[in-house]
Amino acid sequence: MSDLKSRKKSWEQSTVKNTIERFPERRKTFSTDAGIPIDRLYIAEEEFNYEQKLGFPGEFPFTRGVQPTMYRGKFWTMRQYAGFATAEDSNARYKYLLNSGTTGLSVAFDLPTQIGYDSDHPLAEGEVGKVGVPISSLQDMEILLDGIPLDKVSTSMTINSTASILLAMYIAIARKQGVADEKLSGTIQNDILKEYIARGTYIFPPDASMRIITDIFKYCNEYLPRWNTISISGYHIREAGSDAVQEVAFTLSNAIAYVEAAIDAGLDVDDFASRLSFFFNAHNNLFEEVAKYRAARRMWAHIMKERFGAKKVKSMLLRFHTQTGGSTLTAQQPQNNIVRVTLQALAAVLGGTQSLHTNSFDEALALPTEESVQVALRTQQIIAHESGAADTVDPLAGSYFIEKLTDEIEQRAKEYIDTIDKMGGSIEAIKKGFYQDEITRSAYNYQKAIEDGDKTIVGVNKYQAEEKPPADILKIDQQMTERQVRRVKQLKQERDNEKVSEKLAALARVAAGTENLMPAIIDCVEVYATLGEIAGKLREVFGEYTEGGV
């Protein structure tokens, strides 16, 4: 045993033992939210190879950050996620956010848009504009992005099954503005595997979905070099109830499946990997979250270099957007959420995020007000300009605790990935229900800990207070949704329906063959074929996925 370890053991047997006898309520064992045991004290470990595991920022294995200077060169992109009952209201909010200092837009779409139905479809009734903006056609997109210069603003669109259609609309709007395709920057989520796992807004069977995704990879590689073609999401996996280790493992396993599909489709790994991006959650356990981001970055670098033989440095970079944890927000004492969001945002910054959305404190109650959105944005700005957290790269590096926790998360996540590989990869694991079962177990254990009082949620199971529901929350005006439905119906009457039929028929022929789908989808969009019509034509060719029917 080393001298330092001997000293630690002696310290635990004498000084600590005498002290904890005075505080019996703190004798319990501690662990992170993922169940990783937390020692009372961490010391230097002789076997820890700092050079191999850490290196320098911007150098393999990128534990310390994907850019050499990180925030000393440029702050993370400050995004605010928004989408309201109409494209007009959403456009007004985006302009308000840009004027308030937001540096990137993030679009939330309503449920019908996410699953390929127009606002006037019977199945859309009651859902139009409820969880985001309804986009049924290029006309809606024109209103949504009116007055927003697409060559100067980076836009993130949280859309999956219909990502190809929304991207096509974005390209069409940019062309109307005179902006060349190659100048567009932004991200489509386009991560269908996590929909089968955790979220449910899928349309097509996995094979067809993977074809659409790889077609987007190919198209953007040729025409939209600055566009992030996928945002592989651990966020929704975490929102469904996973822990931090599962979030990393399941996200990276899905990413492996996408890379394999692209290679199988004939793409060279170094031709597309640099445009892959990731999307992670931020929860309240500050140090576990920081370690999670560092572990994920290091793991991805090794996966790309050693598993896929990537040669370019950019192919090995795990660039990620972070959103603070929606599931951690409480309706009880909602202003407590300001503190939670601050901790979560700080974790993302200390962990080296490239882009960040901070939730508003009233989101457990309703769509956020302008006041609460401003508080959320100011949280990021205060961290950037006042906290000092952005003044040096990877400020927690070398902490005995952080490095041990980073190692532990990496090791546990690797074990999960090995298990998934043995099943045949992500799609086979989805078929077997492996992800779903693991997430369910984790969510149950977390909730049970709260209900048993083993885990404290301030204002929920401890430190409760008498409260009146707030009066100033946003509500959806039914007249707005009715106006949206009328607009879609009117468009379908006034456009050139002969051209629409012609382009939709051409899309069906492409879908039945092997050509890239994106040019045909763009052609449909430009003649004002609706999202529902385009998705419907693809449904006819590809069929629909039903849960349990992979």
The amino acid occupying position 393 is V
Tokens matching residue 492: 């379908």
CATH of 50-451, one of 3.40.50.880, 3.90.1150.10, 3.90.920.10, 3.20.20.240: 3.20.20.240
Q: 528, 137 in Cβ contact below 8 A?
A: yes
Token pair, residue 224, equals: 């939209």
d(CA 27, CA 24): 5
Give the span between the Cα atoms of 56 and 42, in whole angstroms.
Answer: 23
Q: List the domain boundaries for the chain.
A: 50-451
**DSSP string for residues in 446-500:** HHHHHHTTSS--BTTTBS-------S------HHHHHHHHHHHHHHHHHS-HHHH
Spatial contact of 467 and 332, defined as CB atoms under 8 Å apart: yes
Rounded to two decimals, the pTM is 0.91
Q: What is the pLDDT of residue 197?
A: 93
In the three-class reduction of DSSP (H, G, I as helix; E, B as strand; rest coil), residue 306 is classed as helix
Query: Residue 403: helix, strand or coil by DSSP?
Result: helix
Return d(Cα 226, Cα 277) in angstroms, integer. 12
Helix or strand or coil: residue 279? strand
- Please list the helix, strand and coil fractions of the chain in percent, rounded to the nearest 5, in that order: 55, 10, 40
pLDDT score at 101: 86
Residue in the structure block whose two tokens are 């404190």: 361
pLDDT, position 456: 93
**Cβ atoms of 326 and 359 closer than 8 Å:** yes
Residue 359's nearest CA partner among 79, 130, 89, 141 is 79
Which pLDDT score is estimated for 8?
78
- What single letter denotes the amino acid at residue 249? A
Predicted local distance difference test score (pLDDT) of residue 18: 65
Strand, helix or coil for residue 356: strand
Task: Per residue of the chain (550 residues), give pLDDT as tens.
Answer: 567 788 878 877 776 666 666 666 655 678 999 999 998 888 887 777 777 889 899 999 999 999 999 999 999 999 877 777 789 989 998 998 888 888 788 898 999 999 999 999 999 999 999 889 999 999 999 999 999 999 999 999 999 999 999 999 999 999 999 999 999 999 999 999 999 999 899 999 999 999 999 999 999 999 999 999 999 999 999 999 999 999 999 999 999 999 999 999 999 999 999 999 999 999 999 999 999 999 999 999 999 999 999 999 999 999 999 999 999 999 999 999 999 999 999 999 999 999 999 999 999 988 788 899 899 999 999 999 999 999 999 999 999 999 999 999 999 999 999 999 999 999 999 989 999 999 999 999 999 999 999 999 999 999 999 887 666 666 667 788 889 999 999 999 999 999 999 999 999 999 999 999 999 999 999 999 999 999 999 999 999 998 765 4
Alpha carbon of residue 35 to chain centroid: 23
Q: Which two tokens stand for residue 533?
A: 């019509």
Q: For 393, phi and psi rounded to 5 degrees?
A: -80, 130
The pLDDT, as a whole number, for residue 63 is: 97
> Which of 69, 149, 103 minimizes the C-alpha distance to 321?
103
